[in-house]
């Protein structure tokens, strides 16, 4: 191939620029021009097809810094309607006019769905990213285990009839996605900071983390040593939960609970009662921590806290915090930079070999460590063509202790063992309190990138 395009779609992650960087460096090696399409599929449907040349003369533009979070080419949650043939054809015609021979999409499951109809017009490859770590499979047969069940409102009328008691770590398809490690890094630090205030003021902190239906971020929060972790994959058992909270509070006069935003009880999801959706049709999650706080206030009651004069009432003893968008912003840590770049490079390599509608994957085995590979996107789909978010397999979670299981701890080890580089610590030391920050305004890459944007005539 002589010229390809690349875009970043869906919610941003800290590793997007690193993935772009890896892709462009690989393209430089192969003598391929890379055009960055602005604002994901949103730019693609624009008649002017705004784009930026990311490697003029096969050298990467200086704005593309793998250490910087976000994406210099912008992202959006706009997707192309697979049934809108007219729109698909006009996109294909614009791409042909720019002499684009193939497309790389950096994204998650929504992006694969957006990419698939385009793959009928030109070769497309996905480079994975998502802080939720939900793009992949616990084992290769997993998609075939989904059944239709109209009573399962959580999974939109599907239910996973899992056949496996345990997973073997070496068979996980796409072991971890770029962005996840940095999200866990931020969450673990937040827990440490919230812990000391809960501890000092004898309070119960409920910390809500992102991840939608998948509990990977919540489970990874274990590195911050919360007392309890609640994941969406395991329905809340209130008597067990309340009894553990009492036990902890009695002993240490405070407790820290991490809750994944998609956590559910027997009536459904705790949060997201509004059912509002983003442009990709994803339900927006909100309110799980608040709802759990209300339940604890009611169940524990004021008298419980008045005993020993720990608090005037339950309401003042229990507080909630959302880690929010800091989880997916800012500088990526070494693990995400390195493997984001590797996956970007791999995506170019397989696109150049015309492995259409494939995704680059990051796999792990005891013997080989992390290696990149690729997979047909259809392998992620169930028999009805749906890609389900990868869930934390129950063997990775200890329901009695509300913590990762032994296997869960083993799962984390290869990701986090060397996830932070010396240069990450150095960057904090030299950049955060730099006197220059007080005199110079933040220099947005958007300003420089705007000067590079070109349009179709």
Nearer to ligand F6P by C-beta: 142 or 261? Answer: 261
Query: 122 - beta bridge partners?
Result: none
Nearer to ligand F6P by C-beta: 130 or 182? Answer: 130
Nearer to ligand F6P by C-beta: 100 or 380? Answer: 380
The answer to whether the CB of 204 falls within 8 A of the CB of 257 is yes
Nearer to ligand F6P by C-beta: 22 or 262? Answer: 262
Distances (CA, A) of 398 to 83, 233, 381, 404, 406: 44, 12, 28, 6, 8
389 binds ligand F6P (CB under 6 A): no
> Least distance to ligand F6P from the beta carbon of 132, Å?
5
Closest Cα to residue 181, out of 370, 322, 70, 334?
Answer: 334
Nearer to ligand F6P by C-beta: 286 or 395? Answer: 286
Nearer to ligand F6P by C-beta: 282 or 395? Answer: 282
Which of 328, 337, 388, 393 binds ligand F6P (CB under 6 A)? It is: 328
Active-site residue identified among 12, 109, 132, 352: 132
> 114 to 133, contacts with ligand F6P by CB under 6 A?
130-132
Which of 223, 285, 397, 412 binds ligand F6P (CB under 6 A)? It is: 285
Nearer to ligand F6P by C-beta: 284 or 428? Answer: 284
Which of 5, 6, 8, 11 binds ligand F6P (CB under 6 A)? It is: 11
Nearest-CB residue for ligand F6P: 210
Q: Is 132 a residue of the active site?
A: yes
Cα separation, 450 vs 33, in Å, equals 19
> Least distance to ligand F6P from the beta carbon of 282, Å?
7
The answer to whether the CB of 148 falls within 8 A of the CB of 155 is no
Cα separation, 99 vs 143, in Å, equals 36
Q: Fill in the per-residue mask, 245 to 264: x = in contact with ligand F6P (CB under 6 A), - = not in contact.
A: ----------------x---
388 binds ligand F6P (CB under 6 A): no
Distances (CA, A) of 189 to 216, 218, 220, 322, 439: 16, 13, 12, 13, 29
Query: Which residue has 């616990």 as its token pair?
Result: 138
The answer to whether the CB of 262 falls within 8 A of the CB of 212 is yes
Query: 229 - beta bridge partners?
Result: 258
Nearer to ligand F6P by C-beta: 111 or 405? Answer: 111
> Least distance to ligand F6P from the beta carbon of 80, Å?
19
278 binds ligand F6P (CB under 6 A): yes
The answer to whether the CB of 394 falls within 8 A of the CB of 233 is yes
Number of separate helices (H) and strands (E) present in the chain: 14, 17
> 205 to 224, contacts with ligand F6P by CB under 6 A?
210-212
**Three-state secondary-structure class, residue 274:** coil
Burial 172-210 (b: 16+ CB within 10 A, else e): bbbbbbbbbbbbbbbbbebbeebbeebeeebbbbbbbbb
Count of residues that bind ligand F6P according to CB under 6 A = 11
> Least distance to ligand F6P from the beta carbon of 400, Å?
27
> Least distance to ligand F6P from the beta carbon of 211, Å?
5
Cα separation, 21 vs 344, in Å, equals 7
> Least distance to ligand F6P from the beta carbon of 68, Å?
18
Torsion of CA 137, 138, 141, 144, to 10 degrees: -70
> Least distance to ligand F6P from the beta carbon of 285, Å?
5
Backbone angles phi, psi at 227, to 5 degrees: -75, -35
Cα separation, 98 vs 120, in Å, equals 18
Q: Is the torsion defined by CA of 13, 19, 24, 25 positive or negative?
A: positive
> Least distance to ligand F6P from the beta carbon of 238, Å?
24
The set of catalytic residues is: 132
Positions in the binding site for ligand F6P (CB under 6 A): 11, 130-132, 210-212, 261, 278, 285, 328
């Amino acid at each position: 191939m002589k010229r390809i395009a690349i875009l970043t779609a869906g919610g941003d992650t800290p590793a997007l620029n690193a993935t772009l960087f890896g892709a462009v460096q690989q393209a430089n090696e192969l003598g391929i021009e890379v055009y960055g399409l602005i604002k994901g599929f949103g730019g693609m449907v624009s008649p002017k097809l705004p784009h930026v040349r990311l490697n003029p003369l096969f050298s990467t533009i200086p704005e593309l810094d793998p250490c910087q979070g976000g994406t210099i080419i912008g992202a959006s949650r706009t997707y192309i309607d697979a049934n809108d043939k007219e729109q698909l054809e006009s996109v294909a015609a614009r791409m042909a006019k720019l002499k684009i021979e193939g497309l790389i999409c950096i994204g998650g499951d929504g992006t694969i769905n957006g990419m698939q109809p385009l793959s009928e017009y030109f070769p497309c490859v996905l480079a994975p990213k998502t802080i939720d770590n939900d793009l992949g499979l616990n084992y290769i047969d997993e998609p075939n285990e989904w059944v239709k069940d109209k009573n399962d409102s959580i999974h939109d009328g599907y239910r996973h009839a899992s056949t496996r008691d345990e997973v073997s770590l070496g068979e996980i398809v796409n072991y971890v996605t770029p962005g996840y490690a940095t999200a866990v890094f931020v969450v673990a630090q937040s827990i440490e900071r919230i812990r000391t205030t809960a501890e000092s003021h004898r309070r119960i902190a409920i910390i809500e983390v992102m991840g939608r239906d998948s509990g990977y971020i919540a489970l990874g929060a274990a590195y911050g040593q919360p007392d309890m972790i609640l994941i969406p994959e395991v329905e809340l058992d209130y008597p067990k939960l309340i009894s553990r909270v009492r036990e902890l509070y009695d002993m240490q006069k405070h407790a820290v609970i991490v809750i994944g935003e998609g956590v559910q009880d027997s009536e459904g999801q705790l949060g997201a009662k509004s059912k509002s959706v983003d442009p990709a049709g994803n339900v927006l999650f909100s309110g799980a921590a608040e709802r759990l706080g209300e339940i604890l206030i009611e169940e524990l009651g004021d008298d419980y806290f008045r005993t020993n004069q720990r608090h005037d009432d339950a309401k003042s003893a229990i507080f909630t915090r959302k880690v929010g968008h800091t989880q997916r912003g800012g500088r990526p840590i070494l693990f995400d930079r390195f493997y984001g770049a590797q996956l970007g490079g791999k995506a170019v390599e397989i696109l150049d070999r015309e492995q259409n509608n494939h995704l680059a994957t990051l796999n792990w085995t005891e013997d080989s460590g992390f290696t990149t590979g690729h997979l047909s996107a259809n392998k992620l789909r169930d028999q009805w063509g749906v890609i389900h978010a990868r869930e934390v397999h129950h063997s990775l979670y200890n329901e009695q202790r509300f913590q990762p299981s032994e296997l869960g701890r083993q799962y984390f080890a290869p990701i986090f063992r060397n996830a932070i580089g010396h240069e990450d610590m150095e960057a904090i030391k030299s950049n955060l309190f730099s006197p220059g920050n007080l005199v110079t305004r933040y220099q947005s890459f958007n300003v420089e990138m705007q000067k590079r944007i070109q349009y179709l005539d």
